[in-house]
Amino acid sequence: MKIPLVLTLLSLWVVMVVSQAADKASKGITYDGRSLMINGKRDLFFSGSIHYTRLPHEMWPVILDKAKHGGINVIQTYVFWNAHEPVQGQYNFEGDYDLVKFIKLCQEKDMYVNLRVGPFIQAEWNHGGFPYWLREVSNITFRTDNEPFKYHMKKFVKMIIQKMKDEKLFAPQGGPIILAQIENEYNNIQRAYKDDGLKYVQWAGNMAVGLKTGVPWVMCKQKDAPDPVINTCNGRNCGDTFTGPNRAHKPILWTENWTAQYRVFGDPPSQRSAEDLAFSVARFFSKKGTLANYYMYYGGTNYGRTGASFVTTRYYDEAPLDEYGLQKEPKWGHLKDLHSALRMCKKALLFGSTSVEILGEELEARIYEKPGTKECAAFLCNNRTRTAATVMFRGQEYFLPADSISILPDCQNVVYNTKTVVSQHNARTFSISKQANDNLVWQMYRDMIPTIAESPIKSKTPLELMSTTKDTSDYLWYTTSITLTREDFPLRSDITPVLQVANLGHAMHAYVNGEYVGFAHGNHMEKSFTFRQPVNLRLGTNHIQLLCMTVGMPDSGAYLEHRLAGVHAVSIQGLNTGTLDLSINGWGHLAGVDGEKQQLYTEEGSKKVEWKTATGQGEPLTWYKVLNYLPLTLAVVFNTEQ
């Protein structure tokens, strides 16, 4: 029997179409309740947060190489809106902000990328990543069902996604981006916005999915993430605290495992042991987790004015790679060994059926076995925090230190225990270069302390700090003047008038007639403070000069656009005529300090003023300069006190 040629060609065409459709379906990123799948293949993902903005771009290859050598196969980074669009409509993707270059470099290193677009990121980053100009949009309320905010948010997100598409950086295009995140820990503030919060989170998720990136979107700490967005866990122990995805068909993902804690001024160093970190990760993978991200794997530095309120310039220095990019041992090495051990269990973890065997009080075995094969992996868990134990598992005895997990990739032999550290220990030390510090010649320049006549922004009352500086400087001068007669002074010589200032934050230096009076500040938990200091006043005109400052802008919480800082109320107490309220006395304001505007901290800027040889202690508000010849560097220090 002969088959007609037309029918044969038609059959071949159908086979080709079906084959192409199946091939297309197998490419890209999909997921089910077990794991993410890249081009149809399951894998285990060990992710590390490295932010391109927190290290010089010259260091990117070095840090990525060290992360890869440590067993990391996914790089997670935020996208920093205020870095890329500091002025509305004016974009910056150059140098340390070259996001495309960073992502392409990750691909060159054979690592995937989780792009946390946000665009609210928190991240201990100034203003949570929002550019200042967004505060001045008419009728705007951040992060809620507010049309002005949604318009600008969507515009930025679309721009970033299109940039990624144009460079073919999403996985279905052959790029490294396998996940993207919209919003960030919104559940922390959702209740503040009531029904509008619920509407917003649904809108944000659906808006992101509608951009058709070809990769899954995630929302961290968001139980009501709309399908198909995956809700993920942030925290230190997601293996025990995460209640799981909000749908059975979504995988278990951990977007932030805090390797320590970021530092704020006034707090002691934060530490987290390598053993505790390893336990949390082993626990997570033993309970069907397939992607765990270290936040941070390399923290780096908050350069310039990029850190949020009271956050130090050193960011997550206790991460596996410290601020300088040095391996923090034993943390880096212990985690590298953990990743190797878990990879030995990959087939059983991804394709096996799971069971739990109780071995005693707070003792258990979590087992993964693939039916019909020899694939078997076991996690022997001692959840006792203080006492070790010896357990029997499949006819063999195993010793388990307290608060530890042993990994058996063949259900027989222990290749790793979270409490048993075999990685070397190291300590970071510094030595002072005698050659670099010999014959240093310090010079000094006194900055201007303005009067009200020299402060161009006038108002009856003190103005709010952040809305006056507009994020161009941390500093704002508040100046006023009073005229005193002899009748104003106390009759008793032992009574000194007191200057009192109620300040909404964050810190303040006070001067009277150009003479330094004192300093006061708030803290990370309570930004506001009250300044009280005795002051020497004189007959006639007296100038009150307050140099107020923010230590970064806030980065979290509801109604971020309404946060306040700066002088609130001012009075002089102890005068013979009673307390003098200066709050409505008429005030002048001057944003920034003169040396900052002239960029005295740069080589060219330092040439703009006349420096004097430093002799002992300088006057208030003084810049100090020294030229160091090894290597040739210019160091300029700004001192606001005497």
pTM of the model: 0.93
Residues 82, 116, 562, CA angle at the centre, nearest 5°? Answer: 45
Query: Over the stretch 211-228, which tens digit does the pLDDT of each residue have?
Result: 999 999 999 999 999 999
Confidence of residue 268 (pLDDT cuts 50, 70, 90): confident
Averaged pLDDT of the chain: 93
Residue-wise DSSP of 309-345: TTB-SB--TTSSB-TTS-B-TTHHHHHHHHHHHHHHT
Catalytic residue, from 85, 124, 185, 596: name it: 185
619 pLDDT band (50/70/90 cuts)? confident
* pLDDT confidence bin for 28, thresholds 50/70/90: confident
Bridge partner list, 36:
31
- More confident: 79 or 639: 79
Confidence of residue 269 (pLDDT cuts 50, 70, 90): confident
pLDDT band of residue 11 (cuts 50, 70, 90) is very low
CB contact at 8 A, 291 and 299: no
Q: What is the DSSP secondary-structure string of 275-303?
A: HHHHHHHHHHHHTTEEEEEEEEEE--B--
Helix/strand/coil for 132: helix
Residue 22 has pLDDT above 70, yes or no: no
Per residue in 156-175, pLDDT (tens digit) is 999 999 999 999 999 999 99
| Per-residue pLDDT, 634 | 59
Percent of the chain with pLDDT over 70: 94
The tens digit of pLDDT for each residue in 426-468 reads 999 988 888 778 888 899 999 999 999 999 999 999 999 999 9
Residue 384: Cβ within 10 Å count:
17
Q: Give Cα separations from 575 to 208, 485, 541, 567, 569 (angstroms).
A: 63, 11, 15, 22, 17
| Distance between CA atoms of residues 310 and 553, nearest Å | 9
* 16-25, 227-236, 433-442: segment of lowest average pLDDT: 16-25
Note the pLDDT tens digit of each residue in 279-291: 999 999 999 999 9
Angle at 240 between CA 237 and CA 243, to 5 degrees: 110
Residue 526 designated active-site: no
44-48, 497-501, 619-623: least confident range: 619-623
Instruction: Please give the order of strands across the beta sheet that includes 622-629.
Output: 612-613, 443-446, 622-629, 632-639
pLDDT at residue 85, as a whole number: 98
In order of 230, 233, 242, 362, the CA distances from 246 in angstroms are: 8, 12, 11, 28
> Average pLDDT in the 341-360 region?
98
Contact 81, 119 (CB under 8 A): yes
Would the pLDDT of 236 be above 80? yes
In the structure encoding, which two tokens stand for residue 355, read together?
Answer: 């069971």
> Where residue 630 falls among pLDDT bands split at 50, 70, 90?
low
> Within the chain, how many helices (H) and strands (E) appear?
13, 32
Q: Where are the alpha helices (DSSP H) in 458-612?
A: 465-469, 594-597
**185 flagged as catalytic:** yes
Instruction: Please give the structure tokens belonging to residue 601.
Output: 């901290």
Of 256, 275, 323, 596, which one is the catalytic site residue?
A: 256
Q: What is the pLDDT of residues 294-337, one digit of tens each?
A: 999 999 999 999 999 999 999 999 999 999 999 999 999 999 99
Closest CA to 316 of 104, 63, 120, 109: 63
As given in the structure block, the two tokens for residue 209 are 């999915």
- pLDDT of 617 reads 73
